[in-house]
Amino acid sequence: MPNIKDCPGFESFGADVQQAREAVGMSRRELAERVGIDPRYLANIELCGTIPSVPVVMQLIRLCKLPAERYFNPGLIREDSEQRQRTSHKLLLCPEKYLPIVEGVIDGAIKLNEIDGKTEGE
């Protein structure tokens, strides 16, 4: 069975699955049942760095709404900071009805940055 050392790009897979599962309030047992695996096996994925088969990986990516490119094209993702990667993942988990709030906060941060840039340049 492959381990993290053998699969570049999957270093954070287990922790990402656990964070996504907990963010939606799903138990380990419930996610394992939805994927069709034993809860102990899911615990090994989340906590021990076990890399499952491709079909299980794909189900976990789909159910946890994880960005597949993070794991299958890690060079693309590594260009972003860890903070930007975490924020992008949390945005995927955010319920649709709260997205206008998130967008407003982002717009405000961009505007503040523009004002700071003008102040520094003057």
pLDDT, one tens digit per residue, over 36-70 is: 999 999 999 999 989 899 999 999 999 998 888 87
In eight-state DSSP terms, residue 92 is H
The Cα 14–Cα 58 span in angstroms is 13
The Cα 67–Cα 76 span in angstroms is 12
Which of 9, 57, 13 minimizes the C-alpha distance to 35? Answer: 57
Task: Give residue 31's pLDDT.
Answer: 97
The pLDDT confidence band at residue 79, using thresholds 50, 70 and 90, is: low
CB of 64 within 8 A of CB of 17? yes
The pLDDT confidence band at residue 4, using thresholds 50, 70 and 90, is: low
The mean of the pLDDT values for the chain is 85
**Is 76 a residue whose pLDDT tops 70?**
no
Domain ranges for the chain, please list them.
Answer: 1-79, 80-122
The Cα 13–Cα 4 span in angstroms is 9
Q: Is 19 helix (H, G, I), strand (E, B) or coil?
A: helix
- The two three-digit tokens of residue 110, written as one number: 């961009």
The pLDDT confidence band at residue 94, using thresholds 50, 70 and 90, is: confident
* CATH architecture of residue range(s) 1-79: Orthogonal Bundle (1.10)
Whole-structure pTM value: 0.64
Helix axes 28-35, 39-48, angle to 10 degrees: 110
